[in-house]
Chain A
Amino acid sequence: MASIKRNQIANGATFTSVKDDRFKTMKISANIILPLNEKTASSNAVLCGTLVRSCREYPDFTVLSRKLSALYGAELTSSVRKCGDMQMLSISASGLDDRYTLNNDSVSQELSKLLCSVIFEPNLEGEKFVKSEVEQEKRQMLDLIDSEFNDKRIYANSQLVSNMCADEVYGIKRYGTSDNIRAIDENSLYATWKNMLENAVFEILYIGDSPSDGVSEIFQSAFNGLKRTPCSISTQVVKNAKEVKRVSEEMELSQSKLVMGFRTEYAVPDKQVKAAQLMCAILGGTANSKLFCNVREKQSLCYYCAARYNKTKGIMTVDSGVEGNNIEKAEQGILKEIEDMKNGNITDFEISATKMAVINSFYTSNDSVSGIESWYLNQLFDNGFETIEEASEKINAVTKEEIVDAAQKLTLDTIYVLKNK
């Protein structure tokens, strides 16, 4: 089993190492947290992508990729996600563990240095980024925004959130807007980078078998000399919906999409979050859930009908792909299952089976590097870290009354329909 160490290495910067000898690979990621803001979301996102394109030592995309390939196909990747009202930029390096290289090469040290240099020693021209690199990354980001429209399930879910949280910070998209991306240049991106170094919260996570002390030191010294005032982390939770908003669009499609957004009242750090998680899983989180068994299997209305709970923001969404003339039937079917749960129509078997399924997914995640990474990242905004054993124990302790209570707190906020023409 893994051993975990957490150390503060600078003001607002924590290094967590998970030592585990079961994997053939190692991974180190810098997770950089900033407030989600309409003005800065786009430039933060473009910065994140620009940083992994090159650095002072490897000042060109192809030179950097070749270095990575020569390190046994190591990867340097970036991603941007929304965690409640925060924006998280993740820059990760992963590669073969030193034990499996062909000539006893050490991949882990080299990758850690590389990761550190892309963040702290980017490819600059004085106090500017390189124009061509910035332009290339802006184009990629604009493409990425457009491509989210290509997948209609993703698009429909994103439209639901935009409409439901239109007046909240959470309604801002993770990459911001296309207009704001176009406005970025090599000068403004430099200011964005400085802001990140000084004001972001850094969570650095190392998972691997090789000793992490050297890696931790590399990062610690990178923070030396920086004047840091880390941002504070919080998310606005709207506890109940007032009235149901309905939004619909039409398109030339074969299938219609229905997405329903609910306020759940409970969000991190409320102790009822585990009950809300279980309530959502019983409703539509497994192939044995109420939505799967009834809306799909009994009513044959759809191929997918799933519920998802966002514990940071305290919302739950249900989405399905249905025939245009079955939208109303599906909506009624979904609401009926929720009504049933509010009335306490949940069997002991449903509860125990769902608890088992949830705990199974916890333990399964522990058998992969990315699963271990997600386990910790998902708890960054909680009150402290739970081990899998602790989380499982809490899941098992949830009572039927608490699940029914979580269901009773659900209020329908917004219904989004993408209708096929």
Chain B
Amino acid sequence: MNITEVKSQRVGDSYYKINHPSGLTIYVYPKEGYKSTYAIFGTKYGSINTCFSVDDGEKITVPDGIAHYLEHKLFESEDGDAFAKYAKTGANANAYTSFEKTCYLFSCTEKFEESLEILLGFVQDPYFTAQTVAKEQGIIGQEIKMYDDSPDWRVMFNMLECMYRNHPVKIDIAGTVESISHITAEKLYEVYNVFYNLNNMVLCVAGNATVEQVVKIADKMLKKADKHKITNYFEDEPYEIVKDYVEQSFPVSMPLFNLGYKERADKMLNEKELAQTEILLSMLASDTSVLYRNLMDAQLINSSFSYELFEGPGYCSVIFGGESRYPQKAAEMIKAYISEVKKNGLSREEFEIAQKAVYGDAVSSLNSVSSISNMIADYHFNGNELFSYIDAIANVTFDDVTTRLSQMLDNNNCTLSVVKQAADEVK
């Protein structure tokens, strides 16, 4: 077993990376003085992985929403559900499925080892029957409908549909009521056996726990897995967007918008590129920016305005969004501002301010055991490292950011999505 310490001089913290003989990569980030511990056990398998092969075998296609369905069903075992087991330790447990990963987690302040045993136990112990699978249709059906009624969710997926021609990131994580009706126990076992292989997974623990404790439970609970080659297939995605505008009527009293710039996504960004991009976006659109000020003064946005780098395997975009009574005008102002800075250049003073702000945010996130664990899992799956990212922020130069800007935010390749009240319903 190989244990490496990863240290940050800058923030005075360190964590441990363990290559466990079972095939699982484990991270332990002790936080001195903390009473709580947060553990996350995740697989690099999310809603976008609907077409794949194993060891270069036959291509397999599965229904949309199956990764999320599997997440729900894994909580049930032959001997009862995981929540009932956690009830004996007092841990607070949950799980989530995103586009590119599925994670099971708990936080606890007592009986950490018992809770970790439960986590590693139930995730490695699938139990699906026709009856238990059928029972979940009603629950997930209501989850899907709840999201159908969420204007924030709709405005984003409408945008993704107009941005991506083929990439499955445009499909709702939970699928549809129709697509999940095709999910069977056999199909759940099929995807489980491919993606819930320890070599494709990660365990991150942060807080009041030691390497020795985690390794002891890992040794006891983990079943060695043979490594297989998993290939995920995505149809070729052109650089160009599909459509530059989409609108949906909805019972809302504040209209919402998402303006998404489709970026090249041949490979995931590394720590340096991430740091450059975060600083650039903060310069362009944080609440200290000229753009934000102009949008506010023109009454085109309110404090719900935000921006985000949205990236995963095969997709990358920058999204500006929020509530606006005049979404088109807000989008025009954003586009005009981007043209302007591309032509006239960025400001050095704004660069220095943004660098400090992004650095401060990154260091602050190390307060929280949940954000630490989630970040380490993300960085692991994307081939990056947390402290290298923080160092990269401190080392970014003005010229790096200028170069970065020239490579992204193409005004001819963006989509505006709007959700607003139907004209005849306006009060």
Distance (whole angstroms) from the CB of B306 to the closest CB of chain A: 13
Query: By the criterion CB–CB under 8 Å, are B293 and A61 in contact?
Result: yes
Q: How far is the CB of B153 from chain A (nearest CB, A)?
A: 11
Chain B interface bracket (under 10, 10 to 19, 20 to 34, 35 or more):
35 or more
Q: Which residues of B contact A96 (CB under 8 A)?
A: 360, 363-364
- Interface stretch, picked from B104-112, B122-130, B258-266, B399-407, is B104-112
Min Cβ gap B222→A in Å is 25
Q: Are A62 and B288 in contact (CB under 8 A)?
A: yes
Q: Is B79 an interface residue (CB 8 A)?
A: no
CB-based nearest B residue for A357: B90
Select one of A22, A102, A147 contacting B356, CB under 8 A. A102
Give the Cβ gap from A398 to chain B, nearest Cβ, in Å.
Answer: 16
Question: Which of chain A's residues have a CB closer than 8 A to the CB of B148?
Answer: 254-255
The answer to whether the Cβ of B11 comes within 8 Å of any Cβ in the partner chain is: yes
Within 8 Å of chain B (Cβ to Cβ): is A301? Answer: yes
Interface string of B27-56 (1 = CB under 8 A from A): 000011111100000000000000000000
Which residues of chain B in 65-100 are interfacial with respect to chain A, using CB atoms and an 8 Å cutoff? 81, 83-84, 86-94
| Of the residues B11, B110, B354, contact of A24 by C-beta under 8 Å | B11
Residues of B within 8 Å of A302, CB to CB, are 139, 142
Could you tell me if B87 and A300 are in contact, using CB atoms closer than 8 angstroms?
Answer: no
Q: A288–B254 contact, CB under 8 A?
A: no
Is B253's CB within 8 Å of the partner chain A? Answer: yes
Interface residues on A, range: 35 or more
Known: A302-B139, A356-B90. A146 touches B253 (CB 8 A): yes
Bitwise interface map of A from 4 to 22 toward B, beta carbon under 8 Å scored 1, else 0: 0000000000000000011
Q: How far is the CB of A411 from chain B (nearest CB, A)?
A: 28
B336 within 8 A of A: no
Most buried by A among B87, B207, B352: B87
> Which residues of B, 176-225, contact A by the 8 Å Cβ criterion?
207
Q: When the two chains form their complex, are residues A143 and B83 in contact, meaning their CB atoms are under 8 A apart?
A: no
- B166 close to A (CB within 8 Å): no
Q: Is B61 an interface residue (CB 8 A)?
A: no
Closest to A300 in B: B138
A68 and B288 form a contact (CB under 8 A): yes
Contact B87 A349 (CB under 8 A): yes
Do A65 and B287 form a contact, CB below 8 Å, given A24-B364, A364-B92?
A: yes
Stretch of B313-321, B365-373, B378-386, B409-417 lying at the A interface? B365-373
Q: CB within 8 A of B145: which of A140, A255, A361?
A: A255
A72 touches B83 (CB 8 A): no
Tell me, in angstroms, the Cα distance from A73 to B357 when the chains sit together: 4
Contact (Cβ within 8 A) A24 B367: yes
Q: How would residues 190 to 226 of chain A score, 1 for a CB under 8 Å from any chain B CB and 0 otherwise?
A: 0000000000000000000000000000000000000
Measured between beta carbons, the chain B residues less than 8 angstroms from A88 are none
Cβ of A294 within 8 Å of any chain B Cβ, yes or no, is: no
Question: Which residues of B lie under 8 Å from residue A296 when comparing CB positions?
Answer: 139
Interface check A251, CB cutoff 8 A: yes
Shortest Cβ distance from residue A370 to the other chain B in the assembled complex, whole angstroms: 9
* Given known A-B contacts A73-B358, A102-B356, A147-B323, A25 and B254 have beta carbons under 8 A apart: no
6 pairs of A and B residues whose beta carbons are closest in the complex: A356-B90, A72-B360, A300-B138, A73-B357, A73-B360, A353-B87
Q: List 20 A-B contacts (CB under 8 A).
A: A24-B11, A65-B288, A69-B286, A69-B353, A72-B359, A73-B358, A143-B302, A146-B254, A147-B253, A150-B151, A251-B251, A287-B94, A300-B135, A300-B139, A303-B146, A360-B107, A363-B36, A364-B35, A367-B31, A367-B36
A146-B254, A302-B142, A353-B90 known; 10 other A-B pairs, CB under 8 Å?
A22-B33, A61-B296, A68-B288, A73-B364, A300-B136, A301-B138, A303-B140, A321-B146, A349-B87, A364-B35
Q: Which B positions have Cβ atoms within 8 angstroms of A?
A: 11-12, 31-36, 81, 83-84, 86-94, 107-110, 135-143, 145-146, 148-152, 207, 250-254, 256, 286-288, 290, 293, 296, 299, 302-304, 323, 325, 352-354, 356-361, 363-364, 366-369, 394
